[in-house]
């Protein structure tokens, strides 16, 4: 049974009351609704969409859908990302009459082997019509809000040198480094309090998180907490990141971007792994470290070998806090038992009684934002999923975009902080060789209207050779023939592709060197020399094409010839 640890410094201030499923529970203003709920013994918050299986908290980071509730009349809010306020009313969703006792849970029982809802009751048209009506009533998540919003949030444009997405160990360290180097820096963090995995790992803890935040703000970093990067729009003013904050929408332009979004806690595959009481190990750590709540008295940690050290640290901390802890390899987890909350874990050696299962898997890199910005990712199971590919400096494949920490593959909080500091230094010293078109166009080739954004786009498509860039963007093909733009484009290309300038050759120079009226050449017997038959630059170094043989001539091909 979860309980607050007496004397934990996370529990501060006057206790307040919130109502969860019509029951008044004690809470504190600096904790989330989910923390108050689990500490007060609330078990089920909602039901799943299809089978109405019980749902409740899993990640405690706002990244799963387990804790969606109706909060003071507003549906589909995540209880783990909503602060407790006095008098808040929390109701379960997607259940009748309540999340704990849901009559529609019969669906799970009736279709114990699952159901294909596409073909449900399609044998009879009458039954099918009836089924459609029922299904339409039951589908959807939550009910509309009691009241429409009275005010729409403001839009706030911001322009900074460096935008760091993610306020965990890597992001805070990177931001501190860039700010100390004099770069205006903003950190976007979607959690109630910045600090990321520092707040969930007993080896670092809440104080380490607060020290890192304090260091960042002392260096001049602006930290936007409870703010979520919701999309990157490359076509908008040279690239804008939309950020949803509690009271406004930020439109952020930055010269350099650092993705430090970390990784998502994942569930592990074993039978009935969705039973309430199965939590991410990091959530169990977060409850303990950040909220001073011991999630259970008898805890089974189901783990994979890649995170054995983390699991050991969590097991030790839980034990120190008074829990009995058993560590079980994933291969030995044969399923959970329990009604509305886990009561045991089956293993090959028998049943292990428990009141909490902590699942320790490799966090999945949170790489969807970098992907939207054009960064290359690669599926790497050992790194937890699709990790962002970076070079030794932390550069991604997208110009001006960097990444560090677990989003590049799981490394854990301490290594992530080191990596973040290093990448921050690199951004501060190397990331400003060029400037993104933060507002308006930076034109590199005036003849052909080629902008810096065009060049960045070209490089992001993989065209990094000066000849390819010329063909893709058209720079150097206008009236000046590259006189004005070649050096500018070549220098920017060196910066964007992190090559020394000496490695960038000029494109092939061809006559005429200046725009020339054709009549000037009309009578010159040597004018044919202007018909340029030299080897195309893109073909340089490739084997010369074979002259067509007898069968390669269209005229001599009997099949083609017959068809006329
Ligand atoms: S989203 Fe709240 S527990 Fe996962």
CA 458–ligand 1 middle distance (angstroms): 39
Closest Cα partner for 63 from 248, 310, 233, 261? Answer: 261
For ligand 1, whether the C-beta of 66 sits within 6 Å is yes
pLDDT score of 527: 56
Q: Locate tokens 């206790």: which residue?
A: 15
CA 455–ligand 1 middle distance (angstroms): 41
At 19, is the pLDDT very low, low, confident or very high (cuts 50, 70, 90)? very high
CA distances (Å), origin 462, targets 375, 493, 547: 11, 12, 32
Whether cis (ω within 30° of 0) applies to the bond prior to 454 is no
CA 126–ligand 1 middle distance (angstroms): 40
Cβ atoms < 10 Å from Cβ of 219: 17
Across the chain, mean pLDDT equals 85
Say if 556 falls within a structural domain.
Answer: no
One domain, residues 25 and 121: yes
Say if 165 falls within a structural domain.
Answer: yes
Choice between 139 and 196, residue whose per-residue pLDDT is larger: 196
Answer for the pair 267, 279: CB distance below 8 angstroms, yes or no: no
For ligand 1, whether the C-beta of 62 sits within 6 Å is yes
Q: Locate tokens 């291969």: which residue?
A: 331
Answer for the pair 83, 31: CB distance below 8 angstroms, yes or no: yes
Q: Which 8-state DSSP code applies to residue 510?
A: -
C-alpha 93/C-alpha 226 separation (Å) is: 23
pLDDT at 558 over 90: no
For ligand 1, whether the C-beta of 265 sits within 6 Å is no
pLDDT score of 504: 81
C-alpha 472/C-alpha 490 separation (Å) is: 14
Say if 96 falls within a structural domain.
Answer: yes
For ligand 1, whether the C-beta of 280 sits within 6 Å is no
pLDDT at 431 over 70: no
The DSSP bridge pattern shows strands 68-71 and 74-78 to be antiparallel
Say if 552 falls within a structural domain.
Answer: no
pLDDT at 544 over 60: no
CA 310–ligand 1 middle distance (angstroms): 21
Range of the domain at 158: 154-263+364-430
One domain, residues 90 and 173: no
For ligand 1, whether the C-beta of 257 sits within 6 Å is no
One domain, residues 252 and 390: yes
One domain, residues 352 and 421: no
Domain count, the chain: 4
**What angle separates helix 452-460 from helix 486-496, to the nearest 10 degrees?**
50
At 119, is the pLDDT very low, low, confident or very high (cuts 50, 70, 90)? low
Answer for the pair 144, 75: CB distance below 8 angstroms, yes or no: yes
pLDDT at 542 over 90: no
CA 48–ligand 1 middle distance (angstroms): 14
Q: What angle do CA 270, 271, 276 make, to 5 degrees?
A: 100
CA 280–ligand 1 middle distance (angstroms): 10
Mean pLDDT of 190-202: 96
Least confident of 168-182, 436-450, 489-503: 436-450
Choice between 172 and 384, residue whose per-residue pLDDT is larger: 172
One domain, residues 245 and 387: yes
Query: How far does Cα 283 stand from its chain's mean position?
Result: 18
Query: How far does Cα 455 stand from its chain's mean position?
Result: 26
Say if 319 falls within a structural domain.
Answer: yes
CA 354–ligand 1 middle distance (angstroms): 22
pLDDT score of 142: 77
pLDDT tens-digit series, residues 275-296 = 999 999 999 999 999 999 999 9
Choice between 541 and 329, residue whose per-residue pLDDT is larger: 329
Taking CA atoms only, the protein residue closest to ligand 1 atom 1 is: 62
For ligand 1, whether the C-beta of 37 sits within 6 Å is no
Alpha helices in 231-377 (DSSP H): 281-291, 308-320, 368-372
Answer for the pair 24, 11: CB distance below 8 angstroms, yes or no: no
Ligand 1 pocket, mutate which of 42, 78, 291 (most atoms under 8 A from CB): 78
Answer for the pair 377, 389: CB distance below 8 angstroms, yes or no: yes
CA 562–ligand 1 middle distance (angstroms): 69
One domain, residues 470 and 507: yes
Map 381-394 to HEC letters: HHHCEEEECCCCCC
At 546, is the pLDDT very low, low, confident or very high (cuts 50, 70, 90)? very low
One domain, residues 387 and 472: no
pLDDT score of 559: 39
CA 1–ligand 1 middle distance (angstroms): 19
pLDDT score of 448: 80
pLDDT score of 563: 33
One domain, residues 12 and 121: yes
pLDDT tens-digit series, residues 450-473 = 888 888 888 887 888 999 999 988
CA distances (Å), origin 436, targets 179, 372, 414, 440, 526: 19, 17, 32, 10, 47
**Whole-complex ipTM:** 0.98
Say if 537 falls within a structural domain.
Answer: no
pLDDT score of 116: 64
One domain, residues 371 and 351: no
Ligand 1 pocket, mutate which of 63, 92, 291, 359 (most atoms under 8 A from CB): 63
Ligand 1 pocket, mutate which of 31, 43, 59, 267 (most atoms under 8 A from CB): 59
pLDDT score of 148: 79
| Percent of the chain clearing pLDDT 70 (strictly above) | 85
C-alpha 237/C-alpha 438 separation (Å) is: 7
């Amino acid at each position: 049974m979860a309980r607050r640890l007496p004397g934990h410094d996370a529990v501060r201030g006057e206790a307040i009351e919130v109502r969860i499923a019509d029951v008044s529970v004690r809470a504190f203003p600096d904790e989330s609704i989910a923390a108050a709920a689990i500490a007060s013994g609330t078990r089920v918050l909602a039901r799943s969409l299809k089978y109405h299986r019980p749902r409740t908290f899993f990640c405690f980071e706002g990244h799963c859908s387990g804790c969606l509730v109706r909060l003071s009349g507003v549906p589909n809010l995540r209880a783990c990302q909503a602060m407790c306020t006095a008098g808040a009313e929390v109701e379960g969703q997607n259940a009748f009459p309540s999340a704990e006792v849901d009559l529609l849970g019969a669906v799970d029982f009736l279709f114990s082997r699952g159901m294909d809802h596409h073909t449900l009751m399609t044998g009879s048209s009458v039954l099918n019509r009836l089924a459609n009506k029922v299904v339409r009533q039951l589908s959807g998540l939550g009910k509309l809000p009691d009241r429409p919003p009275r005010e729409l949030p403001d839009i706030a444009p911001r322009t900074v040198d460096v935008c760091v997405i993610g306020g965990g160990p890597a992001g805070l360290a990177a931001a501190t480094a860039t700010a100390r180097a004099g770069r205006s820096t903003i950190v976007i963090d979607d959690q109630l309090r910045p600090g990321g995995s520092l707040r969930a790992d007993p080896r670092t803890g809440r104080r380490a998180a607060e020290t890192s935040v304090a260091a960042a703000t002392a260096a001049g970093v602006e930290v936007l907490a409870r703010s979520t990067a919701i999309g990157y729009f490359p076509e908008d003013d040279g690239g804008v990141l939309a950020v949803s904050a509690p009271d406004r929408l930020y439109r952020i332009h930055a010269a350099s971007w650092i993705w430090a979004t970390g990784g998502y806690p994942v569930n592990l595959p074993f039978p009935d792994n969705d039973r309430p009481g199965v939590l991410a190990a990091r959530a169990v750590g977060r409850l303990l470290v950040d909220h001073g709540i011991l999630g259970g008295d008898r805890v089974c940690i189901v783990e994979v070998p890649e995170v054995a050290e983390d699991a050991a640290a969590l097991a030790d901390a839980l034990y120190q806090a008074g829990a009995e802890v058993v560590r079980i390899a994933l291969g030995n987890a044969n399923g959970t038992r329990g009604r509305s909350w886990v009561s045991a874990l089956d293993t090959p050696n028998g049943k292990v009684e428990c009141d909490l299962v902590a699942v320790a898997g490799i966090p999945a890199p949170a790489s969807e934002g970098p992907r939207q910005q054009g960064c290359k990712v690669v599926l790497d199971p050992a790194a937890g999923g699709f990790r962002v590919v970076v070079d030794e400096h932390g550069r991604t494949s997208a110009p001006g975009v960097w990444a560090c920490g677990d989003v590049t593959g799981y490394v854990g909080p301490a290594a992530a902080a080191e990596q973040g500091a290093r990448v921050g230094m690199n951004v501060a010293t190397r990331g400003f060789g060029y400037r993104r078109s933060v507002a308006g166009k930076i034109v590199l080739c005036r003849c052909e209207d080629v902008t810096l954004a065009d060049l960045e786009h070209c490089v992001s498509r993989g065209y990094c050779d000066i000849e390819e860039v010329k063909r893709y963007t058209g720079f150097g093909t206008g009236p000046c023939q590259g006189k004005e733009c070649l050096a500018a484009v070549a220098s920017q290309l060196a910066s964007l592709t992190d090559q020394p300038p000496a490695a960038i050759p000029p494109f092939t120079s061809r006559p005429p060197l200046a725009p020339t009226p054709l009549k000037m050449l009309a009578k010159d017997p040597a004018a044919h020399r202007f018909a340029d038959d030299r080897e195309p630059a893109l073909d340089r170094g490739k084997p010369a094409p074979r002259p067509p043989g007898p069968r390669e001539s269209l005229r001599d091909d009997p099949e083609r010839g017959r068809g006329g």
